[in-house]
Amino acid sequence: MQINQPTISTNGDVRPTYAEVNLLRLGENLEAILTKVKPFKVMLILKANAYGHGLRNVALHLADRVDYLGVAVLEEGIFLREIGIKTPILVMGGVWSNQIPQYIQNDLTLTASSVERLEQIDQAAKSLGKKARVHLKIDTGMERIGVHYYNAETLQNATLARCGNVDVEGIYSHFANSDSADLTHANLQLERFNEVLQFYERHSLPTPMRHMANSAAVLQIPESYFDMVRPGILMYGVYPSQECIKSIVVKPVLSWKSRVVYFKVVKPGHPVSYGSIWQSDHLVRVVTIPVGYGDGYFRSMSNKASVIIRGQKYSQVGRVCMDQIMVNIEWGTAYNGDEVTLIGESGEERITVEDLAGWADTIPYEILTNINTRVPRVYVK
């Protein structure tokens, strides 16, 4: 089950467009988060190929340093088990009933979001002669998956009455607006979750492990830490939004690089790329870079993006193609083979994930997770 890029070496044999992942920074970011939330547990979120950083290598580097791992789909959990990861793994997405035995056989924790699904998990565990470990999902205002907070008792009661093959290890919810400067809705969700948790006190029952804090809540809502927090994009050195309080200092883990593959002089009045949406009114030097929307360099960034070559920032011009972009260096200097920084630092210049998100009119999450798997990942320490 190969779902991410393997480690490669920069020996000249790889594609000139690649993403570099700094494992030292990744570890430093984790330490900063651990220091902030101590003594609470940490679930490291690895969904979507570890936010584009490479599931295999991120997991192998950090799994032993956290209490839990979180993924979105069954296949991600199975892959982690296949590469030898022993850390508990919660699959947070919806569960298909016919897949339930695979969760149990691979020692994966299931998300139980309804009475019907809980009963199906119980029956599958009984038929396998095993216990299934689950976390109950409570919808406190996201309207995605999870039992509504005002109906949560039906699910909680079901765990007591008729599910002897299920171990309810945890209970959790998810914020919809914890990355906002206005935390009114987030605080309402927090209040609703606390109301749901009172069920255990009323019935003199031990409370399952509670978790709700995503990256933004880790930064802004310490009262949501409960027993465990779930940092995602923050782990990779990117803040969830510009509005978030930056109460933890993290540094970007991923940089994206390429090389100049072609150089030409373009006359005035000669349009560049598809659609002829850009042309110069004077003689310019234009270089071609082997990266495009087929790699996750968004077409919507056409005529907006910048890159760094030889320590100078230059504008991308014309339409972004599937496999190539063109850059106007005016009358600057560039040679075939010169390094091009798409995300990262070079000299005194810097281009961030947030910059690309602004040019593409999207969010940093989408930039990172859309860097295609045909872009090799290079891991450095």
Query: For residue range 131-180, what is the model confidence (pLDDT) as tens digits?
Result: 999 999 999 999 999 999 999 999 999 988 778 899 999 999 999 999 99
- Confidence label for 7 from pLDDT (cuts 50, 70 and 90): very low
The pLDDT assigned to 15 comes to 87
Domain ranges of the chain: 23-236, 254-351
- Interatomic CA distance for residues 79 and 55, integer angstroms: 9
Q: How far is CA 144 from CA 52, 140, 174, 189, 277, in A?
A: 23, 10, 9, 14, 40
What is the three-class DSSP state of 247? coil
Architecture of domain 254-351: Beta Barrel (2.40)
Which of 217-255 are b and which e, b meaning 16 or more Cβ less than 10 Å from the residue's Cβ?
bbbbbeebbbbbbbbbbbbbbbbbbeebeeebebebbbb
Q: What is the DSSP letter of 181?
A: S
**What's residue 1's pLDDT?**
41
- Contact status, residue 223 vs residue 190, Cβ threshold 8 Å: yes
Distance in angstroms (rounded) separating the CA atoms of residues 342 and 327: 12
User: Would you place residue 6 in the very low, low, confident or very high pLDDT band (cuts 50, 70, 90)?
Assistant: very low
Q: What is the mean pLDDT of residues 235-259?
A: 97
Which of 51, 55, 39 lies closest to 233 in space, CA to CA?
A: 51
- Section 231-245 average pLDDT: 97
In the CATH scheme, what is the homologous superfamily, with its name and number, of domain 23-236?
Alanine racemase (3.20.20.10)
Q: Are 192 and 152 in contact (CB under 8 A)?
A: no
Q: 150 an active-site residue?
A: no
Residue 294 has pLDDT above 80, yes or no: yes
Report how far residue 19's alpha carbon sits from residue 22's, in angstroms, rounded to the nearest whole number.
Answer: 10
Mean pLDDT across the chain:
95
CA 103/CA 14 separation, integer angstroms:
36
Q: What is the pLDDT of residue 9?
A: 44
Within 10 angstroms of residue 275's Cβ, the number of other Cβ atoms is 10
Q: Which of 36, 47, 137, 257 is catalytic?
A: 47
CA distances from 254 to 1, 54, 122, 129 (A): 24, 10, 42, 44
In the numeric block, the tokens 């810097």 are attached to 350
Per-residue pLDDT band for 13 (boundaries 50, 70, 90) equals low
Contacts of 50 (CB under 8 A, 6+ apart): 4, 58, 59, 236
Model pLDDT for residues 206-232, shown as the tens digit of each residue: 999 999 999 999 999 999 999 999 999
DSSP assignment string, 315-328: EEES---SS-EEEE
Alpha carbon distance 254, 88 (integer Å): 26
CB 138 within 8 A of CB 149: yes
Sign of the Cα torsion 361, 367, 371, 376 reads positive
% of the chain with per-residue pLDDT over 90: 93
Which residue shows structure tokens 């690895």? Answer: 46
Q: Which residues pair with 257 in a beta bridge?
A: 18, 341
Residues 8-18, mean pLDDT to the nearest whole number? 68
Which of 150, 262, 274, 335 is catalytic? The answer is 274
CB atoms within 10 A of CB 335: 11
Torsion angles phi and psi, residue 23, rounded to 5: -70, -30
Instruction: Please count the residues of the chain.
Output: 381
The encoded tokens of residue 333 equal: 């200097």
Tell whether omega for the bond before 101 is within 30 degrees of 0, i.e. cis. Answer: no
Q: How far apart are CA 63 and CA 254, in angstroms?
A: 19
* Integer Cα distance of 41 and 33 in angstroms: 11
Neighbours of 362 (CB within 10 A): 15
Q: pLDDT tens digits, residue range 70-98? A: 999 999 999 999 999 999 999 999 899 99
246 labelled catalytic? no
Q: Which two tokens stand for residue 305?
A: 């993006």
Measured CA to CA in angstroms, residue 14 lies from 5, 19, 148, 188 at distances of: 13, 12, 50, 50
